[in-house]
Chain A
Amino acid sequence: MSGGWPTDVLFWAFSAMAVISAILVFVTDSMVRAAYWLMASFVAVGAILVTLNAQFLGLILILMMAGEMTIMAIFMVMFMMNPAGLNPMLMVHQHRTAILSGVGSFLALATVGLFAEFPDRPAAIVGPAIVPLGQELLGTSMLVFESAGVALLAVMIGAIALVSHRGRYGDAEQGSEEPPLEVETSQ
């Protein structure tokens, strides 16, 4: 999909949605709403990826983030004191430094994006990229794909080990201190 004004209109609409909902994540009082604003930002970026001819990546980004943000909303309800946002809330520290860092990094990165000399497109886009991507994933680049899968499996095991009720040294409530070494009393 290489241009035309409908693509441009879609791109700017989704870009505005991505940035505005990203800002709303940290403005809204309700943490559950923050999770869903974050999901809206991811959905907008996924839609931009679809207009960039990366349909597969855009759709799996949306699918992945829908699941993850649901888990995040559940976490908010479980752990936070005010998940519904009934009271106004501003839970921040070092606010001025954070704002300056955010604006500064935006300006620096945007300057690089606007003024760096990137080479022009060396190859023309030919057709949808899904079939070549699938053949690449299960063909010559299978090692990357499989490594991602093995890494996710290792993380699943590690996360379960981290949150499991009974740790290696006893109950999780007792902390994770090692028991003292048993010293044999010499006679």
Chain B
Amino acid sequence: MSLEALLVVAAAIFGVGIYGALSQQSFVMIMMGLELMLNATILAVAAFWWGSTGGNPEGQLLVIVVMTAMAIEAAIGFALVANVYRARKADITEKLKRLRN
């Protein structure tokens, strides 16, 4: 286990997340891609914390901030999906031709 190996694993998860966020049609699957990218971010930040500061607790706060961003993304995403479905009966991106109304 080394910093390089951790960063390569994080890069692999991030690449899968990019693929999912760009390719999927369903809104919730796009959110899964975003969550995978944040997952990779958490892993990379924790790897840098482990490989550099040697147990200094301030470094872990950045991971907590990323986790908060993840929870916020999920909550707002679910709210928007519910709202779009109610207004347009759309569950995939192809059904939305315009954002207004």
| Minimum C-beta distance from A143 to chain B (A) | 10
A57 adjacent to B1 (CB under 8 Å): no
Contact with B along A51-75 (1 / 0, CB 8 A): 1111011001100100010011001
Task: State the total of A-B contacts with C-beta under 8 angstroms.
Answer: 255
A158 adjacent to B35 (CB under 8 Å): no
A26 adjacent to B28 (CB under 8 Å): no
B19 adjacent to A102 (CB under 8 Å): yes
Q: Which residues of B contact A75 (CB under 8 A)?
A: 28, 78, 81
Q: Which residues of B contact A19 (CB under 8 A)?
A: 9, 12-13, 16
B25 adjacent to A72 (CB under 8 Å): no
CA distance A108 to B35 in the complex (A): 20
Question: A119-B52, A173-B86 are contacts. A129–B25 as well, Cβ < 8 Å?
Answer: no
B86 adjacent to A175 (CB under 8 Å): no
Set B8, B9, B18, B54: member contacting A102, Cβ < 8 A: B18
The tally of residues in A whose CB lies under 8 Å from a CB in B reads 90
A102 adjacent to B64 (CB under 8 Å): no
Contact with B along A71-87 (1 / 0, CB 8 A): 11001100111000000
B33 closest partner in A (C-beta) = A26
Q: Which residues of B contact A97 (CB under 8 A)?
A: 22
B71 adjacent to A64 (CB under 8 Å): yes
CA distance A160 to B4 in the complex (A): 42
Set A60, A95, A155: member contacting B72, Cβ < 8 A: A155
Contact with A along B30-42 (1 / 0, CB 8 A): 0111011001001
CA distance A118 to B52 in the complex (A): 9
Q: Which residues of B contact A54 (CB under 8 A)?
A: 46, 49-50, 60, 63
| Minimum C-beta distance from B26 to chain A (A) | 6
Q: Does A180 interact with chain B (Cβ within 8 Å)?
A: no
Q: Does A127 interact with chain B (Cβ within 8 Å)?
A: yes
B7 adjacent to A91 (CB under 8 Å): no
Which A residues are within 8 Å of any B CB, using their own CB? Answer: 3, 7-8, 11, 15, 18-19, 22-23, 25-26, 31, 34-35, 38, 41-42, 45, 48-49, 51-54, 56-57, 60-61, 64, 68, 71-72, 75-76, 79-81, 91-95, 97-99, 101-106, 108-110, 112-114, 118-119, 121-127, 129, 132-133, 135-137, 141, 144-145, 148, 151-152, 155-156, 158-160, 162-163, 172-173, 175-177
Q: Could you give 6 example pairs across A and B, Cβ below 8 Å?
A: A3-B1, A7-B1, A26-B29, A109-B10, A114-B7, A136-B58
